[in-house]
């Protein structure tokens, strides 16, 4: 078993190497990569990584599910790659994602860091409901008041918490972001609104609206400020930047916040919240059942955080949320039921252990990704059973009008958040919901059954030795001579490099074309016996966006040894100053005992250059 750092080193290699990673962040269970070229991802290698539970593509991000050790994985990745969530807007011009993906990414990136504070405050508010009911705490004492302040602080100043995380997401100045959003919750502004005084800025009226507990205005305002900062920086003289830039940013942003963004964002938040409330009120239990069925689909797509602002708004304004959190409880515990059934039925020791641990993770911590990606999704039928069980339990919970008073991850341990202190029957309804979710899914999983794949190491079966011939005419050199750590440190795999004499690349093996980015600067091949090969023309040639390159094959084509794959204008690459040394690496190197270099120095097309031994 490789070390954790080695596993993360392999993961970096599998997602296309350090040079392919634009940005990386993490949430509770997954690493979220913004990649320059998704086609360079070696999906099989990612999935075979011991630390990886599964993957998803959502919101323009390549997401790698790690589980509860994600923070350890993130810290290791940052050490290897040297990028983090502080990148900001440096590469906006390279962002080709659609508008929906960008919006989702902005919401998730701004909200995910705030969730722990919201959960903590929610649980304190929940205690304030239950403790007086059972006689442990007086609701007239100073302790109660003290806890009330703690529980309400995170919600009251929620716009500031969101501003702090959004400033990291959009690459803005933290203190200026906080200062701008602080305007919206300033006590004097609230007093002016309460007194009914008509207010305007430069003749533009300021709409009366409360911004405490709000989310959307803060996100939009910090995003806008990222552009205002850059614009101001361009027009202010260097000698005045220290005082003039902050002054102009605050004046411009403050005016926009109070006259345009604040009211518009506030209305948008109210529309979304009232829309969800309308759906709940008009469809009742059915809406909760739908969430119970499809919640884990949202989790698989990485889109469940999109609901966070709605949940927070509902909790802050009404004190409870009756649709999303309730449906999520039914869906989560259904995953646990499926895992328990798989653990009981399977004969595969590894799957038995995975299912048992994953089920416990759901029951205790409300973390479903290990169950989803390690058990129910690969086995399929247990996933169907969990969707049915989650839907039935969600319908029951909706009929009984169960609501959540907090936003802790739904699990058996956190069912306290669904108990109504003034209606002790709610304890019974919550218990039945949990039993239905786990029990129905457990029985359905046993009835539907599941088909397991035979135990496999994930490595391809290869003959004693497999050979790779040269795809180029030129000079063979060691990878360590390449001026790119991805290749020189063998992050992309073991192999050699060739300094080419001409611009024709021929297939070094009989294989299928698996990778061919739009930039045409690299090509990936996979042989029948499982060898995965990458030929990367030059260094940083992706920047040419396909200029001077011409492909003779496409992804999915079968090629034979000696077939022409690519042409590139070697002279133009040299004129433009690009390093033309071409790495040829085995991207699944860790599956083989030895990868032996057979030729150094001058080489002709078709000569043996590598021997691979299983």
What's the confidence (pLDDT) of residue 93? Answer: 40
Burial state string for 569-602 with b = 16 or more CB within 10 A and e = fewer than 16? ebeebeeeebebbbbbbbbbbbbbeebeebbeee
Going by C-alpha positions, the residue among 175, 184, 166 that lies closest to residue 246 is 175
**Torsion angle, alpha carbons of 133, 134, 136, 139, to 10:** 10
Give CA–CA dist 489/40, Å, rounded: 18
Contact call for residues 31 and 64 (beta carbons, < 8 A): yes
**3-class DSSP state of 110:** helix
**Within 10 A of 567 (CB to CB), how many other CB atoms are there?**
16
The burial class, CB within 10 Å (0-12 / 13-18 / 19+), for 392 is buried
Contacts of 236 by beta carbon, 8 Å cutoff, 6+ apart? 244, 245, 248
Largest Cα span, the chain? 89
Q: What DSSP designation does 496 have? A: E
Contact call for residues 133 and 127 (beta carbons, < 8 A): no
Contact call for residues 123 and 417 (beta carbons, < 8 A): yes
pTM above 0.75, yes or no: no
Give CA–CA dist 550/566, Å, rounded: 6
**Within 10 A of 194 (CB to CB), how many other CB atoms are there?**
10
For the annotated catalytic residues, the residue numbers are 27, 536
Give CA–CA dist 226/168, Å, rounded: 10
What's the confidence (pLDDT) of residue 91? Answer: 42
What's the confidence (pLDDT) of residue 535? Answer: 93
What's the confidence (pLDDT) of residue 575? Answer: 87
Contacts of 88 by beta carbon, 8 Å cutoff, 6+ apart? 168, 169, 170, 171, 172, 226
| Regions of the chain where pLDDT drops below 50 | 85-94, 96, 454-464
Contact call for residues 34 and 77 (beta carbons, < 8 A): no
Which tokens in the block code for residue 356?
Answer: 């048992």
Give CA–CA dist 95/551, Å, rounded: 25
Contacts of 541 by beta carbon, 8 Å cutoff, 6+ apart? 519, 521, 549, 573, 578
* Helix H or strand E segment including 564: strand 564-568
The single residue listed with the structure tokens 């959502």 is 58
What's the confidence (pLDDT) of residue 369? Answer: 66
Per DSSP, helices labelled H in 376-465 are 377-379, 381-399, 425-448
């Amino acid at each position: 078993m490789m070390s954790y750092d080695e596993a993360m080193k392999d993961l970096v290699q599998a997602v296309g190497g350090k040079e392919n990673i634009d940005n990386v962040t993490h949430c509770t269970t997954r690493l979220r990569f913004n990649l320059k070229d998704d086609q360079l991802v070696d999906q099989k290698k990612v999935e075979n990584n011991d630390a990886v539970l599964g993957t998803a593509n959502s919101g323009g991000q390549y997401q790698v599910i790690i589980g509860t050790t994600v923070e350890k994985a993130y810290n290791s990745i940052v050490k290897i790659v040297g990028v983090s969530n502080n990148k900001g807007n440096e590469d906006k011009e390279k962002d080709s994602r659609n508008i929906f993906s960008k919006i989702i990414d902005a919401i998730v990136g701004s909200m995910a860091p705030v969730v722990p504070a919201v959960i903590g405050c929610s649980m304190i508010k929940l205690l304030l409901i239950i403790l007086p009911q059972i006689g442990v705490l007086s609701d007239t004492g100073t302790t109660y008041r003290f806890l009330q302040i703690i529980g309400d602080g995170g919600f009251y100043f929620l716009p500031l918490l969101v501003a702090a995380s959004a400033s990291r997401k959009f690459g803005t100045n933290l203190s200026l972001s906080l200062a701008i959003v602080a305007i919206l919750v300033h006590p004097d502004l609230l007093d002016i609104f309460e007194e009914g005084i008509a207010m305007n800025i430069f003749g533009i009226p300021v709409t009366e609206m409360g911004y405490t507990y709000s989310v959307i205005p803060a996100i939009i305002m910090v995003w806008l400020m990222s552009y205002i900062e850059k614009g101001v920086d361009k027009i202010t003289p260097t000698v005045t930047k220290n005082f003039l830039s902050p002054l102009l940013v605050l004046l411009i942003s403050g005016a926009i916040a109070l006259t345009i963004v604040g009211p518009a964002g506030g209305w948008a938040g109210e529309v979304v919240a009232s829309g969800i409330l309308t759906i709940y009120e008009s469809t009742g239990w059915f809406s909760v059942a739908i969430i119970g069925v499809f919640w884990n689909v949202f989790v698989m797509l990485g889109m469940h955080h999109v609901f966070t602002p709605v949940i927070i708004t509902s909790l802050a304004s009404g004190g409870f949320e009756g649709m999303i959190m309730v449906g999520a409880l039914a869906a989560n515990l259904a995953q646990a039921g499926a895992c328990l059934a798989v653990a009981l039925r399977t004969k595969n020791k590894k799957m038995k252990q995975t299912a048992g641990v994953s089920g416990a993770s759901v029951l205790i911590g409300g973390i479903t990704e290990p169950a989803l990606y390690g058990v129910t999704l690969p086995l399929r039928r247990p996933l169907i059973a969990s969707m049915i069980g989650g839907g039935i339990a969600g319908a029951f919970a909706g009929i009984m009008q169960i609501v959540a008073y907090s936003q802790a991850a739904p699990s058996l341990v956190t069912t306290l958040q669904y108990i109504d202190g003034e209606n002790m029957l709610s304890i019974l309804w919550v218990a039945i919901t949990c039993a239905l979710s786990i029990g129905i899914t457990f029985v359905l999983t046993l009835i539907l059954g599941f088909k397991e794949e035979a135990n496999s190491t994930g490595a391809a079966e290869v003959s004693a030795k497999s050979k790779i011939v040269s795809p180029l005419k030129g000079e063979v050199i060691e990878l360590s001579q390449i001026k790119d750590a991805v290749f020189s440190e063998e992050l992309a795999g073991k192999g050699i490099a060739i300094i080419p004499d001409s611009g024709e690349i021929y297939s070094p093996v009989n294989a299928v074309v698996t990778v061919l980015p739009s930039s045409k600067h690299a090509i990936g091949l996979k042989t029948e016996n499982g060898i995965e090969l990458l030929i990367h023309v030059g260094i940083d040639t992706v920047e040419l966006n396909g200029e001077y390159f011409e492909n003779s094959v496409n992804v999915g084509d079968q090629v034979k040894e000696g077939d022409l794959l690519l042409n590139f204008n070697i002279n133009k690459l040299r004129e433009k100053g690009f390093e033309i040394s071409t790495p040829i690496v085995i991207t699944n190197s860790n599956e083989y005992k030895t990868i032996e270099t057979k030729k150094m120095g001058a080489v002709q097309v078709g000569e043996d250059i590598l021997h691979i031994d299983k």
